[in-house]
Amino acid sequence: MFSTLRLRLTLLYLGAAAALLVLLGAGMYWLIAEYFRTTTDAALEYKMAFEFRQLGAPMPSTLPVAARSLAQQALTEPALAAQSSELAAIYVLPLDRTGRALFNPNTFALPSQPDPAAASEALRQGFDRRTLVLADGSRVRVLTYRLTREDGPALIQVGRTLRGQDEALQRLLLGLVAIACGGAALLGWSSWWLAGRSLRPAEEAWERQQAFIANASHEIRAPLTLLRASAEVARLSYESDATQRELLDDVVDEADHMTQLVEDLLLLSRLDAQRVTVERTPLPIAPLLGDLQRQLGRVANERGITLQVTQANGTILGDAAKLRQVLLIVVDNALRHTPAGGAVRLSAQPRGKSIELAVADNGEGIAPEHLPHLFERFYRVDSSRGQEQHGSGLGLSIAKALIEAQDGRISIVSQVKAGTTVTLRLPAAGDRYSL
């Protein structure tokens, strides 16, 4: 149990830490990519403003003030225009209205040809900014502006390749992935250690509790056996005294009840500690329900209740002894809380890759507020299931634990004055992972 909980805590810690690492890495990547984009756009805007100044064309109002100011300063300080490495990689192309280059004033090969769509958009709106993806996968950032002069080019397009930036971002991404993998390994180990350290006090307390229950149960069982034996011997001495015999009968009954309670506590203790061996073998349903009907039929007849098997199809994969114990608990509950003249019906039928066993009665039913608590230990319904209260409140808890130990599920549906149906769902033979 604690090993599973430790694994869950480890995965929880690791998931939270991994999410934080991913957010930090994604944030760092986005910040650097955004820095590259803004610096590239600023350089293109400055280059565009510089070209407008050189041509003596009216400066577009859509160009930032800072770019226009730097362009004006570059005319009076030529060294300023040449000192930026960002500007050195930017190409300039004068275009006609069709988007074709009039000539190539650059001293290096262009990374791409003029983009007609950018030219068309710039003519329509005054400017256009976009990123082109070339056939080889590389990207080019271009800025195109419309000229309002009657002579000369109709458009000016500036651009620069983003190959260097993309390579830097790719190296950054690989570095972040490597750091994340190393961090995940370190976080996994530290999370496992931290989960174990956090659970150690609870595990020790749990082991002490289980040891106490087991030891106390063993210590109580022997005195109860002696008490019952003494009461039976004493009962023989009072065969003619009805009052004394009734008192001694009560002692025997309570000793039996306490002995069963001790056995239930021992079983739950072993189930909680996962120390119960479950043998899974193919079990035909029909013989199992038939034996149960024959064994409990006499009890049902004495109470005026009809116990019948309406349908028994399929073969399940489970532990015969433990499944029989579960069915005895469920059917006994149904018989004890069904009035005379009522009926308890057993059925089984395939549901996909599973087999559903149902125990249905037409008794008083259970109020809705009790249904969520029926599998809690020592929980008993006082009003809606009749007046006979001989149980310890552990039966359904044991049934649930035994069914889940066989990879099964148990559920209860009920309606007041209409009856209750308990459904057991177990894997069909040959389908180990059917639920």
Question: Could you report the per-residue pLDDT of 281-315, keeping only the tens digit for each?
Answer: 898 988 888 888 888 888 899 999 999 888 777 88
- Residue 81's pLDDT band (boundaries 50, 70, 90)? very low
Quote the pLDDT of residue 82.
Answer: 45
- Residue 191: pLDDT band (50, 70, 90) is confident
SS3 105: coil
116-124: average pLDDT: 88
- Asked whether residue 73 carries a pLDDT value surpassing 70, the answer given is no
- Whether the per-residue pLDDT at 432 is higher than 80: the answer is no
**Any residues with CB less than 8 A from the CB of 101 and at least 6 apart, and which?**
93, 94, 95, 113, 114
Domains (range + CATH), the chain: 281-427 (3.30.565.10)
- Cα–Cα dist 94/146, whole Å: 10
- Which tops the pLDDT comparison, 167 or 223? 167
Q: Which tokens hold the place of 380?
A: 């008993």
Distance in angstroms between the alpha carbons of the first and the last residue of the chain: 21
What average pLDDT does the segment 86-104 reach? 82
User: Residues 382-427: pLDDT tens digits?
Assistant: 644 444 445 667 888 888 988 988 889 999 999 998 899 999 999 9
Of 186-190, 341-345, 407-411, least confident by mean pLDDT is 186-190
Asked if the model's pLDDT at residue 249 lies above 90, the reply is no
- What is the rounded CA–CA span in Å between residue 383 and residue 144? 84
229 vs 242: CA distance, rounded Å: 19
Residue 45: the pLDDT is: 87
Return the closest-CA partner of residue 370 out of 414, 425, 336, 424.
Answer: 414
CB 345 within 8 A of CB 308: yes
Could you tell me what percent of the chain has a pLDDT over 90? 20
Q: DSSP assignment of 142-201, as one string?
A: EEEEE---SSS-SEEEEEEE-HHHHHHHHHHHHHHHHHHHHHHHHHHHHHHHHHHHHHHH
Rounded to an integer, the average pLDDT of 242-269 is 77
Indicate if the pLDDT at residue 350 is higher than 80.
Answer: yes
Report pLDDT for 167.
92
Per-residue pLDDT tens digits for 136-148: 888 999 999 988 7
Among 40-54, 170-184, 229-243, 275-289, the least confident range:
229-243
pLDDT value at residue 213: 67
Name residues whose C-beta falls within 8 Å of residue 147's C-beta, 6 or more positions apart in sequence.
55, 57, 153, 154, 155, 156
**Looking at the predicted structure, is the pLDDT value of residue 192 above 50?**
yes
Residue 28 above 70 pLDDT? yes
User: What Rg do the C-alpha atoms of the chain give, in angstroms?
Assistant: 42
| pLDDT above 50 (res 435) | no
Mean of the per-residue pLDDT values of the chain: 81
pLDDT at 433: 41
Q: Residue 384 and residue 418: Cα distance in Å, rounded?
A: 11
> What pLDDT, on a 0 to 100 scale, did the predictor assign at position 2?
67
> How many other β-carbons are positioned within 10 Å of the β-carbon of residue 226?
11
pLDDT digits (tens, 9 = 90+) for 314-331: 889 888 888 988 999 899
